[in-house]
């Protein structure tokens, strides 16, 4: 799914680059919290791990094999912020060193393969873990669902970017069905491997799985024959609820701005296609009339204004994300300062 | 790691291209690719001139053509996609060797192939004339956030270690008669990935502790400060500027 140079036009590549830069900036702030002081060495090793895991080919069907994207796996194992950072670094290095993915398409690649997979996977994972009973099994089930959805979501995000700024004239519905169709299959493989990997790590070192934090039973001490709660080490619950709320809000906004508007615009497209086909069938002789719906069916006229709305929405969400991060950090810092005082 | 610290893609040499400071080369490649991408696809001759420019750089860097062409193979998946395009794009049709192909599809395929190949070739030239460590330093000089630069440098340093670890695990699996044939074997691969994660993470913790015990405070000291003179910048800028000239010519004529 590495997009090469020249596949997406320059303005949209720049816009995607801005989105990617915003996400990386947010990730830089967030990663400090997830990995406390050890950020750079640990995140570097995790990036190396993702790099290695992307080479792990799994056989899909006779003769063909797929490889992991790793977005969902990274988000669940080390947290969404670090996950975005690690995948962004992996993609940057692949672009510069291996020429895998174009340099001008770097923003597109980071947005699609880093940000979308991680955000979708982690939001879904978090939601499921909150809904399901607090057991290890629900962590693995949630990671299965998260990875399963994240891959087609990335394919749909790619199609959205392609619809706005693709340099070729393949009709968007065709690209959407092909991309999402293929990536649902890849997603199944990704989901099974992600689930089993998370399961394997949870079985050995549950403390290393970021997504499984808070699942450990509270420590109890037996004092004079009865069980007493041990003093809690630290209270991460205080910062938890606004964070959840915040992530949920961003994801809802992104989904509404990006995907729902896209699907909403995709369905009349299908209608239009049918209308055009039938129009041609009815008026076989009227060449002038038959020509125009065909011309309209092409990407340019219809798609551009409608999808520019989607682009505006996505940019709006990006700006909200940036402002929201700043505000959230301000609030949080004040609160921790107040707690320490 | 046994084979020194140069990566496989790097080709050792002492050409003027090798000697340029890394950040000038990074900026030049980026500028070149941006210019190539914004060239109208109808200006076919412009792309031939771009290819000639890259060939001139390769000749200057004494990179053999075979080496360059072999590395271009990375592009194959997208070539396959580009070849499909003339068949699926709707629009005006034309006959080529008895096959009905669409004209916009052919243009699209040409566009993706030409620009993608030039981009890959430029990146390959950069990677084969610049050492890894120098590339990371170059990114730092281009004001990439320091934390990102550190993550990248750790990734590069330990990438080989982790990949070798994975390779050893694969050798161990195969020496016990394992062969990944289908869905039934996904579990084994996933457990390997899990073990690899634990090993990477624990190694990260050990590396961190070792660094802290040697006085690491969150930033790495820069020992070899790479600065570029005006002449070096001008030398590196020759590629993107001549490309820009071609691009402007292409825009006026196309």
Domain with residue A128: its CATH number is 1.10.1760.20
Torsion angle of the four alpha carbons B47, B108, A187, A161, in this order, in degrees rounded to the nearest 10: 90
**A318 Cβ neighbours under 8 A, 6+ residues apart:** A18, A19, A22
**Which region among A223-237, B86-100, B221-235 has the lowest average model confidence (pLDDT)?**
A223-237
pLDDT in tens, A130-140: 888 877 788 88
Out of A46, A169, A194, the one facing B91 most closely (by C-beta) is A169
pLDDT on residue A278:
39
Three-class SS state of B97: coil
Q: How far apart are CA A202 and CA A196, in angstroms?
A: 10
Rg over alpha carbons for chain A, rounded to the nearest Å, is: 23
- Smallest Cα distance from B219 to chain A, Å: 9
pLDDT in tens, B42-58: 778 888 888 888 888 88
pLDDT in tens, A272-310: 343 344 333 333 333 433 333 333 333 333 344 444 444
Q: How many domains does chain A have?
A: 1
Q: Which of A68, A89, A91, A83 is nearest to A120 (CA)?
A: A83
Rg over alpha carbons for chain B, rounded to the nearest Å, is: 23
Whether residue B252 has pLDDT greater than 90: no
B148 contact residues in A (CB cutoff 8 A): 24, 28, 85, 88-89
pLDDT on residue B56:
85
**Distance separating the N- and C-terminal Cα atoms of chain A:** 50
Whether residue A257 has pLDDT greater than 60: no
Which range of residues forms the domain containing residue A19?
A: 10-215+244-259+308-340
**Which region among A13-27, A263-277, B140-154, B228-242 has the lowest average model confidence (pLDDT)?**
A263-277
Q: Which residue has the higher pLDDT, B145 or B12?
A: B145
A-contacting residues in B 197-226 (Cβ below 8 Å): 197-198, 200-201, 203-205, 207-208, 211, 218
**A168/B9 CB distance under 8 A:** no
A193 contact residues in B (CB cutoff 8 A): 186, 189-190, 193
Percent of chain B beyond pLDDT 70?
84
**Do the beta carbons of residue A321 and residue A22 sit within 8 Å?**
yes
**Which region among A2-6, B82-86, B221-225 has the lowest average model confidence (pLDDT)?**
B221-225
**A306 Cβ neighbours under 8 A, 6+ residues apart:** A265
A221 in a structural domain: no
For residue A159, what are its two tokens?
Answer: 């199609």
Residue B193 banded pLDDT, cuts 50, 70, 90: confident
Structure letter (DSSP) for residue A171: -
Q: How far apart are CA B122 and CA B120, in angstroms?
A: 5
Average pLDDT over residues A17-40: 81
A269 in a structural domain: no
Average pLDDT over residues A199-204: 84
Whether residue B119 has pLDDT greater than 80: yes
A26 contact residues in B (CB cutoff 8 A): none
Q: Which residue has the higher pLDDT, B65 or B173?
A: B173
pLDDT on residue B24:
86
A5 in a structural domain: no
A318 in a structural domain: yes
pLDDT on residue A184:
84
Average pLDDT over residues A240-247: 52
With an 8 Å Cβ cutoff, is B194 touching chain A?
Answer: yes
- Smallest Cα distance from B10 to chain A, Å: 9
* Tokens 């192939």 found at: B113
Q: Where are the domains of chain B?
A: 16-138+227-253, 145-213
**Do the beta carbons of residue B18 and residue B61 sit within 8 Å?**
yes
CB–CB contacts below 8 A, A to B? 259
A-contacting residues in B 79-118 (Cβ below 8 Å): 85, 88-91, 104-105, 108-109, 111-112, 114-116, 118
Q: Which of A41, A123, A56 is nearest to A86 (CA)?
A: A41
pLDDT on residue A121:
92
Whether residue B113 has pLDDT greater than 70: yes
pLDDT on residue A279:
39
A109 in a structural domain: yes
Three-class SS state of A54: coil
Whether residue B175 has pLDDT greater than 90: yes
Q: Which of B11, B249, B2 is nearest to B127 (CA)?
A: B11
pLDDT in tens, A64-73: 566 677 888 8
Torsion angle of the four alpha carbons A44, A47, A49, A51, in this order, in degrees rounded to the nearest 10: -130
Q: How far apart are CA A143 and CA A129, in angstroms?
A: 9
**Do the beta carbons of residue A29 and residue A329 sit within 8 Å?**
yes
Average pLDDT over residues B145-166: 84
Out of A59, A196, A204, the one facing B182 most closely (by C-beta) is A59
A22 in a structural domain: yes
- Smallest Cα distance from B179 to chain A, Å: 10
Q: What's the mean per-residue pLDDT of chain B?
A: 79
Out of A43, A194, A298, the one facing B151 most closely (by C-beta) is A43
With an 8 Å Cβ cutoff, is B131 touching chain A?
Answer: no
Burial class (CB in 10 A: 0-12, 13-18, 19+), B121: buried
**Do the beta carbons of residue A164 and residue A177 sit within 8 Å?**
no
Q: A23, A41, A136: which to substitute to probe chain B, counting the most B Cβ within 10 Å? A: A41
């Amino acid at each position: 799914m590495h997009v090469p140079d020249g596949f997406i036009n320059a303005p949209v590549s720049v816009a995607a680059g801005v989105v990617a830069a915003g996400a990386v900036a947010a990730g830089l702030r967030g990663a400090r919290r997830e990995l406390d002081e050890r950020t750079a060495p640990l995140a570097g090793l995790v990036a190396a791990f993702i790099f290695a895991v992307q080479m792990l080919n799994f056989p899909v069907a006779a003769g063909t094999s797929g490889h992991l994207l790793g977005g969902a796996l990274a988000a669940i194992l080390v947290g969404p912020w670090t996950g975005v950072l690690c995948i962004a670094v992996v993609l940057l290095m692949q672009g510069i060193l291996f020429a895998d993915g174009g340099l001008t398409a770097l923003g597109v690649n980071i947005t699609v393969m880093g940000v979308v997979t991680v955000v979708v996977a982690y939001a879904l994972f978090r939601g499921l873990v909150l809904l399901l009973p607090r057991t290890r099994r629900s962590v693995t089930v949630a990671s299965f669902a998260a990875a399963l959805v994240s891959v087609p979501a990335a394919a749909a995000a790619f199609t959205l970017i392609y619809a706005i700024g693709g340099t070729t004239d393949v009709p968007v519905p065709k690209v959407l069905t092909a991309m999402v169709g293929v990536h649902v299959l890849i997603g199944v493989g990704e989901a099974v491997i992600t689930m089993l990997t998370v399961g394997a790590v949870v079985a050995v070192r549950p403390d290393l799985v970021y997504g499984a934090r808070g699942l450990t039973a509270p420590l109890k001490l037996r004092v004079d024959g009865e069980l007493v709660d041990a003093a809690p080490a630290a209270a991460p619950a205080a910062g938890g609820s606004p964070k959840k709320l915040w992530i949920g809000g961003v994801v809802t906004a992104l989904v509404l701005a990006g995907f729902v508007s896209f699907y909403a615009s995709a369905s009349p497209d299908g209608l239009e296609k049918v209308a055009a086909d039938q129009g041609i069938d009815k008026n076989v002789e009227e060449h002038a009339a038959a020509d125009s719906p065909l011309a309209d069916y092409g990407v340019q006229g219809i798609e551009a204004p409608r999808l520019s709305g989607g682009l505006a929405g996505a940019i709006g969400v990006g700006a909200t994300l940036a402002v929201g991060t700043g505000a959230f950090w301000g609030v949080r810092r004040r609160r921790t300062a107040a707690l320490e005082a | 790691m046994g084979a020194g610290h140069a990566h496989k893609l790097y080709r050792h040499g002492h050409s003027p291209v090798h000697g340029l400071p890394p950040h000038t080369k990074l900026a030049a490649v980026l500028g070149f690719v941006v210019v190539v991408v914004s060239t109208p696809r109808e200006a076919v001759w412009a792309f031939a001139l771009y290819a000639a420019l890259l060939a001139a750089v390769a000749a200057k860097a004494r990179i053999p053509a075979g080496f360059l062409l072999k590395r271009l193979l990375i592009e194959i998946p997208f070539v396959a996609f580009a070849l499909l395009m003339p068949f699926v794009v709707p629009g005006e049709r034309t006959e080529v060797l008895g096959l009905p192909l669409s004209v916009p599809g052919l243009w699209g395929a040409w566009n993706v192939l030409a620009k993608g190949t030039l981009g890959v070739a430029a990146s390959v030239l950069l990677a084969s004339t610049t050492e890894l460590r120098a590339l990371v330093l170059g990114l730092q000089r281009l004001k990439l956030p320091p934390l990102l630069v550190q993550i990248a440098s750790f990734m590069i340093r330990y990438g080989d270690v982790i990949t070798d670890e994975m390779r050893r695990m694969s050798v161990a699996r195969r020496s016990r008669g394992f062969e990944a044939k289908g869905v039934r074997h996904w579990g084994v691969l996933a457990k390997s990935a899990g073990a690899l994660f634990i090993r990477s993470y624990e190694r990260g913790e050990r590396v961190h502790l070792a660094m802290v015990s040697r006085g690491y405070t969150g930033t790495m000291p820069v020992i070899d400060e790479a600065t570029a003179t005006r002449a070096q910048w001008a030398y590196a800028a020759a590629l993107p500027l001549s490309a820009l000239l071609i691009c402007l010519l292409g825009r006026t004529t196309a």
